[in-house]
Structure 1
Amino acid sequence: MNKDELKDFLDQKVIQYNTRDFIDSDPVQIPHLFTQKEDVEIAGFLSATIAWGNRTMIIKNSHRMMEMMGSTPYDFVMTHTDHDLERLERFVHRTFNAQDFTFFVQSLRNIYENHQGLEAVFAKHQEPHSMQKSISEFKRTFFEIPHLVRTEKHVSDPLKGSAAKRLHMYLRWMCRQDTKGVDLGIWKTVSMRALSCPLDVHSGNVARKLGLLTRKQNDAKALAELDAALRELDPNDPSKYDFALFGLGVFEGF
């Protein structure tokens, strides 16, 4: 396929998969449970954090996280007591355990109390065509309070070589103005032009087969290569192609 044919093909796949039906089998359904901005962004952040492994288990454990927080995540973050945190002691998703969950709640309170909230932290260091520095600075802020070193592995740093797939997915949820209603688009201070397509085994494999990516590892350098290719197809909304690449890989076995 030439460039125009590839764009037409991928644009059609975006239309095919960027529909409300997508929500039923995706962790994006978790932030869709809420209407208050802070509930949406906290629910999205926590569910995106554990979004690796079996998708059914991701969704199940994300619902469980919300239930443990009384289905009021922002209120729980801001008003929790030590006794409230004991509710989290039974939680585990792969290597993300109750200690990690507890710290995440404490760090989120620090972000809302001292940094004007999640949107403000991510927006502060955004660049015109990249959220890499922003994500790295977010991680620095997130771990500025006392914490276990082991918990740091649950927030990726793209400036240290990570593709940061889960955080790019989270930013797509929060920032992309989606007329089809999958991405929530509640953050208005982060430009869609700066978003990246989340890079994982599925999107990476499809991107290589389509000639969008040559690097073999799914790391920050591969993401930069994929970014450049997708921005040529649509500089205003490059992350929309996540629907096409993911859909082709997961649902079609492309």
Structure 2
Amino acid sequence: MDITDIKDLLNTKYQQYNNQNFIESDPVQIPHLFSLKEDIEIAGFLAATIAWGNRKMVINNCHKMMNLMGNSPYDFVMSHQSHQLEPLQSFVHRTFNGGDFATFIRGLKHIYTNHNGLEGVFNEHQKDGYLHNAISQLKQKFFEIEHEQRTHKHIADPLRGSAAKRIHLFLRWMVRNDNAGVDLGIWKSISPSLLSCPLDIHTGNVGRNLGLITRKQDDIKTLNELDTHLRNFDPFDPVKYDYALFGLGVFEGWK
């Protein structure tokens, strides 16, 4: 398959999977529960943070997170009292536990109180045509609060070699707006051209199958390799092809 055939295949699969039917089996449904901008952001950030493993389990645990915040995530983040964090200790999703959840609540309050919110951090630190630097800055600012060292691992840092799949997924949700109804597109200060593909085992395997990736590791170098191809296919909206790569891997069993 030559590069033109690959592009045609990905465009076809993007059209096939980028529709509202995708929402019902994906964690993107969590930010769709809300209409307030800050609720959408916080729900999306928390949902993306635990978006690894069995998708049904991810979605169920995302709903548990929202319930523990009274289904008003922004109000909970900004006005909670310390005793209201105690029920969060019961939460667990794989290695993300209740202590991590409570730290994330306090970290998000710090971001909204002192750093102009999540969009503000990403808008301020756009650099070199990517959002890798902004992700690293978010992690730095997020953990200015007192925290346990173990919680660090739940926010990836591309400048330290991570592909940062979950934050790139969150950014896709916040930035892309193609009227298909899946991504929410509420951030107008950041161009979709800056987005990177959420590189996971499925997109990585399909990318290698198609010859878009040559490296075996799923790290920042591999992400940059994939991004280069996707930006050549569509420099204005390269991450639309995440739907195609993910769909081929998850729904069609490509390996």
TM-score relative to the length of structure 1: 0.99
Matches within 5 A, 1:240-251: 240-251=240-251
**Residue aligning to 1:176:** 176
Is 2:104 aligned against 1:127?
no
Matches within 5 A, 1:106-185: 106-185=106-185
Equivalent-residue separation in structure 2 for 1:27 and 1:105 (angstroms): 19
CA contact (8 A) 1:26 1:55 kept: yes
Matches within 5 A, 1:227-242: 227-242=227-242
Q: CA deviation at 1:178?
A: 2.3
RMSD between aligned alpha carbons? 0.7
Is 2:10 aligned against 1:10?
yes
Gaps of 5+ in 2: none
Gaps of 5+ in 1: none
AA at the equivalent of 2:251: F
**Residue aligning to 1:28:** 28
AA at the equivalent of 1:25: S
AA at the equivalent of 1:4: T
**Residue aligning to 1:45:** 45
Equivalent-residue separation in structure 1 for 2:221 and 2:168 (angstroms): 15
Equivalent-residue separation in structure 2 for 1:227 and 1:127 (angstroms): 16
CA contact (8 A) 1:165 1:199 kept: yes
Is 2:93 aligned against 1:93?
yes
AA at the equivalent of 1:212: L
| Matched position secondary structure for 2:48 | helix
> For each residue in 1:11-69, what CA deviation from the matched residue of structure 2 results, as whole angstroms up to 9, or x when unmatched?
01000000100000000000000000000000000010001111110000000000000
| Matched position secondary structure for 2:186 | coil
Equivalent-residue separation in structure 1 for 2:156 and 2:139 (angstroms): 7
Equivalent-residue separation in structure 2 for 1:154 and 1:89 (angstroms): 16
> For each residue in 1:134-170, what CA deviation from the matched residue of structure 2 results, as whole angstroms up to 9, or x when unmatched?
1111110111111100000000001101000000000
Moved over 3 A (4+): none
Q: CA deviation at 1:3?
A: 2.0
Equivalent-residue separation in structure 1 for 2:89 and 2:130 (angstroms): 37
Q: CA deviation at 1:128?
A: 5.0
| Matched position secondary structure for 1:241 | helix
**Residue aligning to 1:225:** 225
